[in-house]
């Protein structure tokens, strides 16, 4: 029996009251963004944000609960932006979006600091009931390395390994969690060069080895190059996540058919960057359609997710999308995935 799990990739939009309140408390300039040393008023406001984002997931009936990452001003670069060994530089474009983050310039040993994300998850755990499984979300090591500027290690492979160790340290400090999603869009937007593919797979292993939870490595805004995917198959993760909204579905299916995939799979089926709201029926059909295209495999778990983070959306639409995921998985539940 395949378990279908409705969940998200985290990074939610701030509630509208929090957009106003936090911009008044923090300011609008790049030096005003979260750096890990927020004062009590700001922390308290983010506490209320966290509560609301968790309530949103409850209302939608999601099967995993994320912290929501309201504090992640710098998108997936956040874990470095708050690190003591990192100086944040100018504003740079976040992939091909009209969104920006501060360039994290790594100027010191990454092993000297950590725990920012663990503290968020501790706070989230305090808000959850026993039967509400926590899902942690981090950038994948390759993506985080791509988003950053290395001014300390001076060697690409050493830098990637240091980022992986840093992320593994974060994960080791996490409270109990059911699932860990590693978001790795750069794997498809800027695929590793030939000889780097093996190192990337090793870096993913380093992070995944730090937890007993199920680990999902999810990429988006495209499909993997064949070589990258072939190497990733060596990584010890429980599932790969594929973007079936912006990525080419035939390429995904080709990769999976040629190289296989893990015993679980994550499907980005709801558009995280468009206010058009999918119907739960359509999403339920897509879950079945994709799994039917992979007849060689019966999955233990199928995660149904948006294809991207959700902070691109207005709050009203984000909530509707959560509800669609919850309903779609309920609709699809009970129908065995055909082997």
Partner 1 sequence: MARDAANREQFRPDDHEHDHFLLTSVVGSYPKPTWLNRADDLVDDPEASFDEADLEEAHDDACRLITEEHERTGLDTVVDGEMRRNEMVEFFAERIDGYEFNGPVKVWGHNYFHKPSVVEEVEYDEPWLVDEFEFTDAVAERPVKVPITGPYTLANWAFDEHYGDSEALAYDLADLVNEEIEKLVEAGARYIQIDEPALATTPDDHAIVGSCLERIVDGVPDEVRVGVHVCYGDYSRIYPELNEFPVDEVDLELCNDDYQQIDTLADGEFAPDLALGVVDVHDAEVESVEEIKQNIEQGLKVVPPEKLTVSPDCGLKLLPRDAAYRKTENLVTAAREVEAELDAGEIDVPVRGTPTADD
**Which residues are near partner 1 by CB under 8 A?**
13-14, 16, 19, 22-23, 26-30, 32-33, 73, 91, 93-94, 96-101, 273-276, 311-317
Nearest Cα residue to 115 out of 62, 58, 174: 174
Please say which residue, 10 or 114, places its beta carbon nearer to partner 1.
10
Beta bridge partners of 214: 179
- Backbone region of residue 114 per phi and psi (left: phi > 0; alpha: psi in -120 to 50; beta: other values): left
Q: Which is nearer to partner 1, 160 or 315 (CB)?
A: 315
| Of 223 and 237, CB closest to partner 1 | 223
**Nearest approach, Cβ of residue 111 and partner 1 (Å):** 28
Q: Which is nearer to partner 1, 157 or 273 (CB)?
A: 273
Burial zone of 286 (CB within 10 Å; 0-12 exposed, 13-18 middle, 19+ buried): buried
Question: Please, what is the minimum distance in Å from the beta carbon of residue 86 to partner 1?
Answer: 17
The 3-class SS string of 49-110 reads: HHHHHHHHHHHHCCCCECCCCCCCCCHHHHHHHCCCCEEEEEEEECCCCCCEEEEEEECCCH
Q: How far is the CB of 235 from partner 1 (least distance, A)?
A: 31
Q: Report the distance separating Cα 239 and Cα 233, nearest Å.
A: 10
CB-based burial, 225-242: b 16+ in 10 Å, e otherwise: beebbbbbeebebbbbbb
Shortest distance in whole angstroms from residue 302 CB to partner 1: 27
Burial class (CB in 10 A: 0-12, 13-18, 19+), 250: exposed
- CB of 32 vs partner 1, minimal distance in Å: 7
Location of structure tokens 């949103």: 56
For the CB of residue 223, give the shortest distance to partner 1 in the complex, in Å: 18
Q: Which is nearer to partner 1, 21 or 122 (CB)?
A: 21
| Residue number with CB closer to partner 1 (29 or 37) | 29
Cβ-based neighbours of 8, under 8 Å, separated by 6 or more = 57, 62, 64, 66, 305, 306, 310, 322, 325
Whichever of 96 and 212 has its CB closer to partner 1, that residue is: 96
Q: How far is the CB of 222 from partner 1 (least distance, A)?
A: 14
User: Residue 60 or 167: which CB sits closer to partner 1?
Assistant: 60
| Cβ atoms of 232 and 224 closer than 8 Å | yes
CB of 14 to partner 1, least distance (A): 8
Instruction: Tell me how far apart the alpha carbons of residues 193 and 44 are, in angstroms, rounded to a whole number.
Output: 44
């Amino acid at each position: 029996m395949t378990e279908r799990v409705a969940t998200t990739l985290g990074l939610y939009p701030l509630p509208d009251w929090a957009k106003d309140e936090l911009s008044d408390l923090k300011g609008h300039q790049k030096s005003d963004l979260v750096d890990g040393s927020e004062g009590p008023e700001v922390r308290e406001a983010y506490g209320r944000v966290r509560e609301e984002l968790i309530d949103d997931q409850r209302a939608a009936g999601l099967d995993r609960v994320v912290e929501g990452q309201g504090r992640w001003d710098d998108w997936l670069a956040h874990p470095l932006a708050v690190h003591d060994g990192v100086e944040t530089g100018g504003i740079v474009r976040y992939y091909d979006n009209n969104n920006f983050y501060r360039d994290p310039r790594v100027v010191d040993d990454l092993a000297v600091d950590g725990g920012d994300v663990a503290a968020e998850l501790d706070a989230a755990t305090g808000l959850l009931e026993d039967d509400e499984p926590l899902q942690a979300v981090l950038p994948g090591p390759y993506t985080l390395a791509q988003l950053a500027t290395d001014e300390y290690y001076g060697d690409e492979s050493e830098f990637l390994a240091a980022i992986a160790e840093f992320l593994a340290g974060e994960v080791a400090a996490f409270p109990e969690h059911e699932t860990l999603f590693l978001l790795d869009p750069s794997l498809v937007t800027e695929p590793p060069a030939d000889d780097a593919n093996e190192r990337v797979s090793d870096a993913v292993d380093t992070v995944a080895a730090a937890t007993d939870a199920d680990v999902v490595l999810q990429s988006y805004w495209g499909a993997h190059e064949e070589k990258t995917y072939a190497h990733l198959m060596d990584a010890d993760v429980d599932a790969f996540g594929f973007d079936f909204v912006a990525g080419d579905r035939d390429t995904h299916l080709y990769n999976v058919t040629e190289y296989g995939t893990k015993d679980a799979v994550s499907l980005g089926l709801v558009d995280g960057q468009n206010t058009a709201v999918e119907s739960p029926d359509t999403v339920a059909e897509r879950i079945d359609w994709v799994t039917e295209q992979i007849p060689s495999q019966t999955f233990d778990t199928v995660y149904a997710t948006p294809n991207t983070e959700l902070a691109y959306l207005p709050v009203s639409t984000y909530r509707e999308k959560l509800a669609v995921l919850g309903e779609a998985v309920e609709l699809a539940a009970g129908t065995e995935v055909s082997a």
